[in-house]
Amino acid sequence: MYGKLVCKAVRLLAEGYSTESTAREVGVKRRTLLAWMRGDDFQTLENSLRDFGYLAKVREMLETLTPDAMEAMRRTLQGGNATAAAHVARDVLKWANEYAVHEREMLGQTRETVIRVEYGTPDGKPYSSAAWADRHPPKGRDSE
């Protein structure tokens, strides 16, 4: 149960809730929440969730605006203004190149963050178990 409360607190804080409202929603005292928040793992998870939420909003905005921007660029390229068309063409080729470089870089690297989760028994004693991956090995040909 303790792990679920911590995870809920992290999610709420990453969504922008205040410490007071998060503590109230989770059902713990504010000082308990502040103690959890001092932990490196808590901060790592909160920052990751906050970044993910921000990126999701940016992606949604770009997906909404892209069709209109592409249409405006198409009209400019097909219009009679050669100077404007040259500027748009230059920008499109620059962005396409930047995307290709970024994609190659991303394919060459992997980012992984390990987050340790500890639980407490009902009497308050700490309880740790093996990492999730150790308890759930991959199934199939590669695991044999």
- pLDDT tens digit sequence for 59-90: 888 788 888 888 888 888 888 888 888 888 88
The rounded distance, in Å, linking the Cα atoms of 104 and 30 is 46
- For the range 15-21, what are the long-range contacts, defined as Cβ-Cβ under 8 Å and sequence gap of 24 or more? 15/49, 15/53
Put residue 101 in one of left, alpha, beta given phi > 0 → left and psi -120 to 50 → alpha.
alpha
Q: How confident is the model at residue 121 (pLDDT cuts 50, 70, 90)?
A: low
Residues in the chain: 144
Q: What is the pLDDT of residue 144?
A: 43
Which neighbouring-strand residues pair with 126? 120
State if pTM tops 0.75: no
**Cβ(76)–Cβ(84) under 8 Å?**
yes
**What is the distance between the alpha carbons of residues 95 and 62, in angstroms, rounded to a whole number?**
14
Task: Indicate whether 58 pLDDT > 70.
Answer: yes
**Structure-token pair, residue 128:** 């740790």
- The mean pLDDT of the chain is 79
- 2-6, 18-22, 73-77, 100-104: which range is least confident on average? 100-104
Q: Does position 92 have pLDDT exceeding 90, yes or no?
A: no
